[in-house]
Structure 1
Amino acid sequence: MSVAFRRESDDEHLEPRFELPIPPGPNLVTARGLALIQEEVARREAGLADLLARLPAQQAGSEDEAVKAIRRELRYWRTRQASAQVMPVPDGTSVEFGCQVRLSMNGRERVVTIVGDDEADPASGLLAYAAPLARAIMGAEEGERVDFAGKAEAIEVLEIRAQP
């Protein structure tokens, strides 16, 4: 039979849905970060249960796109929960994972807290430990100047606070 007369299913034309990408490297988290991950797992599980309860009985065996999306997100968050490594509270003598750092860069002061990938929110001052700025100041002590973006002594670490 000619391809022109063959009925193709609508599914053949849909974009493939890939798994949510897991950031490379270890899944380092603060205690707050682990709690946030656990909240996301619980929220997704509740959302899935609610959605499945609302599906008509004839559709219970098939999954619509909303169910597939929640299951995909739930796989991501369960993986992040299972691989989480809670880091010890830093002592605050040098910049480490979990520290809050007040720094001066380009004549402006900025406060950042170094956290895990899933907890990061640069607009709120929560910087992922793998971010270039976080990597540049890691290990520095108060009063120390560090190189950044090809500039010598571009950042001055003004204050380091251990975050409980």
Structure 2
Amino acid sequence: MSKAFTKEEDGTEKIRLDDLPQSTHPNLVTPSGLADLKARLAAARLELENLRARPEEIDSTMAIAVAERDIRFLESRISKAILIDPKDHSSGVVEFGATIDVVNEEDEQLTFRIVGEDEANPAQGLIAPYSPLGVALLGGETGGTVEWQKPSGVVELEIIAIRFE
């Protein structure tokens, strides 16, 4: 972790951490994803305000630097956000924001929703459009099959329903 130290006018040290890396992909977001980013930014700003109110704490300098870095990251993500409301889609084709019901080769029914990278949580079925599963599903149609390239091999999924909620 790279740090830049500077002296403030009052003689205290200030740390500026390197910015967190940003995705190279367009920052597509759902309305709920954008709301979450804004809530995270508000929470980070509040945390920074609270930290600055207690400068006597031993770890406050590093904690302030972390909060400032996180705020810069979130501000950048929000400024680059491309809002796409799934309710604006009406086609039978998988697009960003779609909720997709599929059946795998073991006849298990699974549900996935294609969301922005910041909102993605594969354990909850929320997948990024640039993930291998997202790439496989995008453009798929109800009744069609797609091939999901996994590290363990190719899995065939039949799309049984597409919803835009």
Q: TM-score range by the shorter chain?
A: 0.7 to 0.9
Aligned length: 143
Instruction: Give unpaired runs (5+ residues) of structure 2.
Output: 6-15
- Aligned identity (percent) is 32
Aligned match of 2:162:
160
Say which SS state the counterpart of residue 139 (structure 2) adopts: coil
Is residue 121 of structure 2 the alignment partner of residue 121 of structure 1? yes
1:31 & 1:103 partners in 2: Cα distance?
Answer: 24
Q: Which amino acid aligns with 1:156?
A: E
In the alignment, is the contact (CA less than 8 A) between 2:101 and 2:110 conserved in 1?
yes
Asked whether the equivalents of residues 17 and 65 of structure 2 are also in contact (C-alpha less than 8 Å), the reply is no
Shift of 1:31: 0.6
Match of 1:83 in 2: 80
For structure 1, the residue ranges without an aligned partner over 5 or more in a row are 1-10
Deviation, 1:106, is 2.8
Instruction: Give 1 or 2: higher helix fraction.
Output: 1
Alignment partner of 2:136: what SS?
Answer: helix
SS in 2 for 1:76: helix
Higher Rg: 1
Letter in 2 for 1:86: L
Q: What residue is the counterpart of 2:95 in the other structure?
A: 96
Code of the aligned partner of 2:124: S
Letter paired with 2:136: A
The structural deviation recorded for 1:66 is: 0.6
Instruction: Check conservation: 1:97, 1:129, Cα contact below 8 A.
Output: yes
The equivalent of 2:148 in structure 1 is 148
Is residue 17–residue 69 contact of structure 2 (8 Å, CA) maintained in 1?
A: no
Deviation at 1:25, TM superposition (A): 1.2
Match of 2:69 among 69, 72, 91: 72
CA contact (8 A) 2:93 2:142 kept: yes
Deviations 1:13-65 (A, max 9, x none): xxx95321211111000011100000011000000001101114xx9xxx711
Amino acid at match of 1:93: G
Q: Is 1:42 paired with 2:42?
A: yes
Query: TM-score of the superposition, structure 2-length normalised?
Result: 0.80
